[in-house]
A and B are shown apart, each in its own frame.
Chain A
Amino acid sequence: MTASQIIFYILSAFILGTAILSVTTRKIFRAAIWLLFSLIGVAGLYFWLEVEFIAAVQIVVYVGGIVVLIIFSIFLTEQSGKEMAKAPLVRTIASVLAVLFGFAFTYLLIHNYGFRAGDKKFDWSVSKIGSQMMGTGEGGYSLPFEVVSILLLAAMIGCIVIAIKNQPGSPAVSQENDQTKNSKSDENA
């Protein structure tokens, strides 16, 4: 076994171990922290593959962004410090079965088709990713990029609309309410 293989197995064991801990722990904050370590392990795997850009993006998006937001929402949840109740037996059995089927399915796929090494040279560089992302010609991703941007913008606007509270004291909303009330009373009259 070469050093590279040893590193791969250590990284994989780390990712799988922390992932299992993340789903089996009964403290929700610890689950988030184990998830964090699992994601860092995946970033390490990308570094091992020498695709540094993807690794850095993995850290920015998942570790620095999503896990921090998860931890934030845990902080704002009531009773998040207590241990969660033990899962009922039926749920445990069902989840174990689901995991087993998942393993069987993946094993079957790998057994039948295996991992074939591509003959194309794996070429990545930040400038190439950038020009491909913004390209409009052959193999360009500018349209999907724009569609995703619009989707994210819509999600952001949606969040703001949900977060705005209709406070009773705020002038615009209360005026509207008054008008509707008046019109209703007019109709009644």
Chain B
Amino acid sequence: MPSLEHITNIIHDWLNNTFSPFWALLFEFVIVGTCIIGLFAVLGLVLIMMERKVSAWMQLRLGPNRVGPVGMFQTVADTIKLIVKEGMTPNGADKFLFNLAPFIAMIIAMVVMAPLMFAKGFQIWDINIGVLFFASVSSVSVIGVLMAGWASNNKYSLLGAIRSGAQIVSYELSAGFAILAIVILTGSLRVSDIINSQADGWWIFKGHVPVWIAFIIFLVAVTAETNRAPFDLAEAESELTAGFHTEYSGMKFALFFLAEYVNIFVVCAVGATLFLGGWQPLHFGTGTKFNEIMDYIPSSLWFIGKTFFLIFVIMWFRWTFPRLRIDQLLNLEWKYLLPISMFNLLLVTLIAIMGWHF
């Protein structure tokens, strides 16, 4: 069966045999860029559809059901509507920054994808600091929100931006500590090393209670970092109309919307990579019959399945928890999550040193 690794190798060899290395590299850049943009579009359509269907299911209603079979083309229709709408720029806004902000949000969501491993041997850039790259670039995503909130020249937008800044800056710490827990157990920052270390069982099974704690803290922190309910204070529609994107319309608004959903995908993919073994099939130990049966399922399906499971969990949060107040939000981070994750990190270090994990 042709795997994704196989296909990429064929393309790589063909390009290198036909063109000089420089042109081959350039063509590969173009191909990867096109694929990422395509993935963006598909992810946006699929995830928004999924969100609407999941929310409908949780609230005992049907959700979108008019356009296409069971409403599957609703998001396509919405996208076409957004493209043809006028993207207005308010008179009092800082026009340059106002128009730049959505693109910053998009570009950062794209760049974070670079070290993700979508299937066995199918990765854009196997950079040796993979996880750190993810943590550092995703910390820039707050800039897009701050820029949009400021440039709109609107008090609701500014309030939303300030809230979002405080929130992302604080929750980054916990997310970083949760990532560090796995880095300590693996002893490497490279994404492929982290995935290979889980060939005989995922870290969530191998690492005992400290890894479970890290996993839960990671989920909470990334929910906050992506500005999702119950941490969606930056755009709380009942308090701030729409927060930082109040003044945006048309495709510029759609870019923010898209970037939010792609960010959810990326953080869930990172969570799946760190705690649930990335593309590794469900293995227990080495060389058992059970492992062989699990190997028949392609690695890309494992990765997509795990990622979408985590996305479902995050959507589940959104439709079941009420929104936090800003002081509760900051208390949760600084008084509970941060001390717990610091102590947890010590526990993980102890386990790694003593070799108590499986």
Name the residue of chain B whose CB is nearest to the CB of A54.
B129
Chain A to chain B contacts (Cβ below 8 Å), 30 pairs: A3-B22, A27-B94, A29-B94, A29-B97, A29-B150, A30-B96, A33-B143, A52-B127, A52-B129, A53-B132, A56-B129, A56-B132, A56-B133, A59-B140, A60-B132, A60-B135, A63-B139, A63-B140, A63-B143, A64-B139, A65-B139, A68-B142, A68-B165, A68-B169, A71-B165, A72-B166, A75-B162, A75-B165, A126-B128, A126-B189
B172 at the interface (CB under 8 A from A): yes
Name the residue of chain A whose CB is nearest to the CB of B169.
A68
A19 at the interface (CB under 8 A from B): no
CA distance A29 to B96 in the complex (A): 12
Q: A52 touching B133 by the CB < 8 A rule?
A: yes
Within 8 A of B (CB), among A5-38: 27, 29-30, 33, 36
Q: B128 touching A64 by the CB < 8 A rule?
A: no
CA distance A65 to B97 in the complex (A): 20
Q: B172 touching A126 by the CB < 8 A rule?
A: no
Indicate the size class of the contact surface on chain B.
Answer: 20 to 34
CA distance A29 to B137 in the complex (A): 21
Smallest CB separation, A78 vs chain B (Å): 13
Name the residue of chain B whose CB is nearest to the CB of A52.
B129
B158 at the interface (CB under 8 A from A): yes
B146 at the interface (CB under 8 A from A): yes
- With A60-B139, A71-B143, A71-B146 given, name 11 new contacts (CB 8 A): A30-B96, A30-B97, A33-B143, A57-B136, A63-B140, A67-B143, A68-B146, A68-B169, A72-B162, A75-B162, A126-B189
Q: A68 touching B143 by the CB < 8 A rule?
A: yes
Smallest CB separation, B321 vs chain A (Å): 27
CA distance A49 to B120 in the complex (A): 29
Residues of A within 8 A of B181 (CB): none
Smallest CB separation, A41 vs chain B (Å): 13
Residues of B within 8 A of A33 (CB): 97, 143, 147
Interface flags for B261-275 (1: CB within 8 Å of A; 0: not) read 000000000000000
Smallest CB separation, A83 vs chain B (Å): 11
Within 8 A of A (CB), among B88-144: 94, 96-97, 127-129, 132-133, 135-137, 139-140, 142-143
Interface flags for B157-168 (1: CB within 8 Å of A; 0: not) read 010011001100
Residues of A within 8 A of B146 (CB): 68, 71, 75
Smallest CB separation, A157 vs chain B (Å): 16
Within 8 A of A (CB), among B157-210: 158, 161-162, 165-166, 169, 172, 189
Residues of B within 8 A of A53 (CB): 129, 132
Known contacts being A33-B97, A68-B143, A68-B165, is A75 close to B150, with CB within 8 Å? yes
A140 at the interface (CB under 8 A from B): no
CA distance A36 to B137 in the complex (A): 13
CA distance A180 to B129 in the complex (A): 59
Binding site for A on B (CB under 8 A): 22, 94, 96-97, 127-129, 132-133, 135-137, 139-140, 142-143, 146-147, 150, 153, 158, 161-162, 165-166, 169, 172, 189
Residues of A within 8 A of B162 (CB): 72, 75-76
Within 8 A of B (CB), among A42-58: 52-53, 56-57
Residues of B within 8 A of A102 (CB): none
Name the residue of chain A whose CB is nearest to the CB of B96.
A30
Smallest CB separation, B54 vs chain A (Å): 31
CA distance A29 to B153 in the complex (A): 12
Residues of A within 8 A of B97 (CB): 29-30, 33
Which of B94, B127, B133 touches A30 (beta carbons < 8 Å)?
B94
Known contacts being A72-B162, A126-B189, is A36 close to B143, with CB within 8 Å? yes
Name the residue of chain B whose CB is nearest to the CB of A60.
B136
CA distance A59 to B133 in the complex (A): 9
Q: A75 touching B161 by the CB < 8 A rule?
A: yes
Q: A75 touching B136 by the CB < 8 A rule?
A: no
| Of B137, B142, B150, most A-chain CB atoms within 10 Å | B150
A135 at the interface (CB under 8 A from B): no
| Of B96, B97, B132, most A-chain CB atoms within 10 Å | B132
A81 at the interface (CB under 8 A from B): yes
CA distance A50 to B140 in the complex (A): 21
Residues of B within 8 A of A3 (CB): 22
Q: A75 touching B158 by the CB < 8 A rule?
A: yes
CA distance A27 to B147 in the complex (A): 13
Residues of B within 8 A of A30 (CB): 94, 96-97
Interface flags for A113-153 (1: CB within 8 Å of B; 0: not) read 00000000000011000000000000000000000000000
CA distance A67 to B144 in the complex (A): 12
Name the residue of chain B whose CB is nearest to the CB of A51.
B129
CA distance A60 to B150 in the complex (A): 22
Q: A64 touching B136 by the CB < 8 A rule?
A: yes
